[in-house]
Structures are given as structure tokens and as C-alpha cells.
Amino acid sequence: MRAGGEIDLATAPRLRHRLAAALEAHREVVLDLSEVTFMDCSGLRVLVQARNQADQYGGRLVLRGVGRPVARLLKLTGLSRRLAASP
């Protein structure tokens, strides 16, 4: 699964729905964030919710292609370990 562009208050709900559906259908979901140019707390909330959903159902959420905008947000919020990215 791939996300791109800006993930903010306007676009986060669409990503949340896509991730929730993917996590219901698959034990492991790989989210490619390499094309994300901006993420605010709305996008971060979606990632945390998806990780919690995966944990709840014994699944796995894997983040790939985490670029500077997302990596910086994860570091600033202290969530870089909780939402660890795969190389």
C-alpha cells in the first residue's frame, strides 16, 4: 500500500479507512511513505491507530520509505520506536 503527497486533516480519513480495511484483510500491511511530502498530527494519529489495530488482531504494520517529513515527526513525538520503519 502506498501513501503520497500531504497527509493532513483533509486526507487522513481516507488513509485511515484504507489502512483499516487492509489490516482486516491481511495479517501484514506494508505502507510505503516514500512519496509523502508532509504529515501533521492527523496523519500521525492514523499511523498510531493502524499500529494499535494490527497489535489488537495479531497483525503487523510495516512502514517503508519513511522520508524526512515523517521521520522528523516521529522523532519529535517520541514515536519512532513504536512506529519503527523497516529498511
3-state secondary structure (DSSP) of residue 81: coil
Amino acid present at 54: A
Largest separation between any pair of C-alpha atoms in the chain? 32
Task: Report if pTM > 0.85.
Answer: yes
Closest CA to 85 of 68, 59, 56, 65: 65
pLDDT digits (tens, 9 = 90+) for 31-55: 999 999 999 999 999 999 999 999 9
Strand partners for 2: 32
pLDDT of 84 strictly over 90: no
The number of residues in the chain equals 87
Taken in order of first residue, the domains within the chain and their CATH numbers are 2-77 (3.30.750.24)
